Homo-oligomer: A and B are copies of this chain.
């Protein structure tokens, strides 16, 4: 029953006034998704954004920004290649490509190193790798970073056994998972789209004006994994969300990744953590924190 919940991520911004990424339309984005070996399952939209649930994770498209997250055995680099071919790198304002080390890297079609070789033939960029003492490893490739792109990511590993038992019951339904994640409390004004995979797995996208959040649940033990990502910038709401997720899911390890955001991380201080911070002269700030929960 193994499923690789580990994600690859693309964050792309364009500045060309004549280019609207949304206006490229459903068929274009379906092609992009299919090239990664994924499928579009559903879509919600508001005035700012189209948010797609994919067979493996999510895609958000704004006029000038794209966030594409894929997991499983997808080949996100192939989707990036479509964007390079169709749009041309000249319209790219910034590109961030992230890849976490997989639970079963031997099942992946490409390595991060191979992906980077493809990108570096077409784009200049800096490359960062952070590997913690317990072998969690994050890779980041950054082309021409743009301070405007900001997000917060929370990656939770080894979820609480009780929560996992509930998530893997055969009759679990979406309402139960939304309640466990306290979606109605934490994201009450958001337009929501969620999907329950068979036999396991759950994805939810939410949008509110130009804000997004997305949560992906891979409950299969021994590699249970839940990811949360958002571009919200309100410190109080961020702290409330993170605390609720950590309390409800009670992971043994987790990563917090801050890209171009000043959201605080001080209230995690009780737990052992590793920090890497990068502030490049051309504008990006990435803070990566890996936590090991204190013994309870």
Contacts and interface: CB of A to CB of B under 8 A. Distances in A.
A126 B274 contact: no
Contact of A276 (B124, B125, B130): B130
A273 interface: yes
Interface stretch (A25-33, A179-187, A230-238, A277-285): A277-285
Contact of A281 (B125, B137, B275, B277): B125
A131 interface: yes
Contacts of A137: 275
Contacts of A278: 126-128, 278
A129 B277 contact: yes
A37 interface: no
B277 A274 contact: no
B125 A292 contact: no
Contacts of A124: 281
A132 interface: yes
Interface in A122-143: 124-133, 137
A272 interface: yes
B128 A272 contact: no
A54 B132 CA distance: 36
Contacts of A272: 133
A7 to B, nearest CB: 20
A268 to B, nearest CB: 13
Nearest to A280: B126
A274 B133 contact: yes
Q: Which of A137, A272, A275, A276 has the most CB of B within 10 A?
A: A276
A124 B280 CA distance: 9
A251 to B, nearest CB: 16
A274 B275 contact: no
Interface of A: 124-133, 137, 272-281, 290, 292
7 closest A-B pairs by beta carbon, nearest first, are A131-B275, A129-B277, A127-B279, A126-B280, A124-B281, A133-B274, A126-B281
